[in-house]
Amino acid sequence: MSRVYSATASPPPRPPTTGKVALMADDDLPPMRFPTECLPAAAGDMVRAIAAAERVPESLTGCCVLGILSASIGAGLQVQSGAQRVTRGNVYLVASADSGTGKSESIRHAAQPLYAFEKEIVDSWKAATLPGLQAEKDLLESEVNSLKKQVGKKDTGIEREATQRELEEKKARLLALEGAMQSPILTIEDITTERLASLLEKRGECLASISSDAGKVIQNVLGRYTEGRTDENLLLKAYSGDPVRVDRVMRPPTMLQRPCLSLLWLVQPDKVDTLLGERSLTDGGLIPRLLICHSNAQPTHITSDQQGIPSATLQGWDALVRELLTAYCHNSEPFTIDPTPAAMQLLIDHHNCVVDLRLGEMKDITSFAARWTEQAWRLSVVLHAAQHGAQAHLHPLSAETARDAIAIADWFAAKQLEILSGGRMKAQRDKRNEVLLLLVDHPDGITARLVQRVRIADPAEDAHELLQAMEKEGILAGEDITPEHGGHTVRIYKQKATC
């Protein structure tokens, strides 16, 4: 029997989507309004309700709701995204908003069921489990002390060996108890990589990093504890679920087999620029993995008729989050969703469209575009879980859900391009200036091959495109030159004379 998590009579209409990436030019970008209509009922209801109650844009509340859904699924649900590939639903969300514009309130409402669930399992553990573990530890320590006293009284080597084996067994159990006596947790915030690795190891390798003001968290990534070196390796591994070893001072290394981390970081706008300004985070792959956006939240007036979040909306959201946490968050073996053929084709078409962009006008940011379809797959898991709750693994991924996931992924891609646009324009200007400086040294003209050789643009195709663009813009004048005695015609470019 399917669950209903919404108080609305029927879900809002979904926008028609084509399964294509609408990112070819500025006029073709998806609308900057967050596509709330693509979220299943309980999630969409919560996005709208928080936005209305706290007077913030749905771009901010949408990120919060998606982040909590992802955290609630954890590593327990994945989709068969290829013949030999599965993709999980953990996403890395970073949204910016100025101080005092509703970051804390938005995340508080969205995360309340998750935090309440976490507190309940901690309280239950303290009441029902911890006393028994402490009692067993006390008994074992007493037995260990008693065995130590008996060792000197043993007359034969056989007796001593038997005592030693018994001691080893009890010591091993004490070590196991040490891990079991750590309080259960679902969420973390400002911790070091070593501490994060340790917690993942002791908590089923699945956690969520949630922060309404992630300034210090970002400082950690930028190298606060690693002497200036960026510290993103564990984040990369926990995104993809790859094995990782984290070495610790004076302690054995932590070995993780399939770590899973979800991120929901709300930051001030300048922190986004700080992240993007660290080249190693882009080259290493962390920044392209982020679903990142400026929410454009603004201070707003309070009106006398301001309404809170309807109780039915809160109840529907609470029920959904709790059901997902119970069914999936810490499964030892994840459930795998099969996409319908139509859903698979939509995402294949999306991938192929992105490939065309990466070979064309997105060539300069190919590492970012390379993640766009993967983000759509990850979001499809999140939306599928939001739609079906604890029965998500019993249903195939539908074409409708795939279209909605693509629409949201395209929205984040557009916001990403918006953030990157300043840097891309500067890089283009710098290349044009380098071409003009090259002409100072070669007043008789330059060729695409020379531009490639001095590494202004590489490969040769990029050098040709750069010079052709400058000619089209009226900066350069091109002329085809054929050697007198035959040979290949070469186009020579000179700076266009000005009146």
Going by pLDDT thresholds of 50, 70 and 90, the confidence category of residue 30 is very low
Residue 31 in this model has a pLDDT that exceeds 50: no
Q: How many Cβ atoms from other residues are within 10 Å of residue 383's Cβ?
A: 27
Pick from 241-250, 285-294, 352-361: least confident: 241-250
Q: What is the pLDDT of residue 302?
A: 85
Mapped onto helix, strand or coil, the DSSP state of residue 252 is strand
Render pLDDT for 268-294 as a digit per residue (tens, 0 to 9).
998 888 888 788 888 889 999 999 999
Name the residue with higher pLDDT: 339 or 203.
339
Q: What's the CA dihedral at 231, 235, 238, 244 to 10 degrees?
A: -10
Look at the block and give the residue holding tokens 């300069």. Answer: 364
Token pair recorded at residue 260: 């899973």
Helices and strands in the chain, H and E counts: 18, 12
Q: What is the pLDDT of residue 423?
A: 61
Closest to 102 measured CA to CA, from 268, 319, 335: 268
Q: Where are the beta strands (DSSP E) in 328-457?
A: 335-337
The winner for highest mean pLDDT among 163-177, 323-337, 338-352 is 338-352
Q: What is the pLDDT of residue 252?
A: 79
Average pLDDT, the chain: 87
| Contact present, 81 and 334 (Cβ < 8 Å) | no
Phi/psi at 80 (5° precision): -80, 95
Q: What is the 3-state secondary structure (H, E, C) of 377-388?
A: HHHHHHHHHHHH
Residue 6 in this model has a pLDDT that exceeds 90: no
Please list the residues that pair with 397 across neighbouring strands.
339
* Mean pLDDT computed over 118-134: 93
Percent over 90 (pLDDT), the chain = 50
Mapped onto helix, strand or coil, the DSSP state of residue 487 is coil
Measured on CA atoms in the order 329, 208, 91, 285, is the torsion positive or negative? negative
* Mean pLDDT computed over 451-468: 82
* Residues 162, 166: Cα–Cα separation, whole Å: 6
452: alpha, beta or left? (left if phi > 0; alpha if psi -120 to 50)? alpha
Name the residue with higher pLDDT: 425 or 128.
128
Q: What is the pLDDT of residue 50?
A: 97
* Residues 321, 33: Cα–Cα separation, whole Å: 25
Task: Please report the DSSP string for 150-188 in residue order.
Answer: HHTT--SHHHHHHHHHHHHHHHHHHHHHHHHTSPP-SEE
Token pair recorded at residue 23: 């990112």
* Residues 405, 370: Cα–Cα separation, whole Å: 16
Pick from 193-207, 306-320, 384-398: least confident: 193-207
Q: What is the pLDDT of residue 35?
A: 96
Q: What is the pLDDT of residue 175?
A: 84
Where does residue 486 rank: exposed (0-12), middle (13-18), buried (19+ CB within 10 A)?
exposed
Domains and CATH numbers, the chain: 34-121+185-301+308-423 (3.40.50), 442-495 (1.10.10)
* Residues 117, 304: Cα–Cα separation, whole Å: 34
Closest to 92 measured CA to CA, from 257, 233, 292: 292
Render pLDDT for 46-87 as a digit per residue (tens, 0 to 9).
999 999 999 999 999 999 999 999 999 999 999 999 999 999
Look at the block and give the residue holding tokens 């499964």. Answer: 331
Token pair recorded at residue 304: 């006398």
Pick from 17-21, 235-239, 319-323: least confident: 17-21
Q: How many Cβ atoms from other residues are within 10 Å of residue 27's Cβ?
A: 5
Crossing angle for the helix pair 269-277 and 215-222, to the nearest 10 degrees: 10
Q: What is the pLDDT of residue 14?
A: 42
CB-facing half-sphere around the CA of 312: CA atoms within 13 A: 7
Residue 234 in this model has a pLDDT that exceeds 70: yes
* Residues 159, 141: Cα–Cα separation, whole Å: 21
* Mean pLDDT computed over 215-231: 83
CB-facing half-sphere around the CA of 319: CA atoms within 13 A: 16
| Contact present, 86 and 318 (Cβ < 8 Å) | no
Pick from 46-50, 125-129, 381-385, 434-438: least confident: 434-438
Pick from 123-127, 258-262, 485-489: least confident: 485-489
Name the residue with higher pLDDT: 30 or 52.
52
pTM score over 0.85:
no
Q: What is the pLDDT of residue 5?
A: 52
Name the residue with higher pLDDT: 410 or 424.
410
Q: H or E stretch including 198?
A: helix 193-202
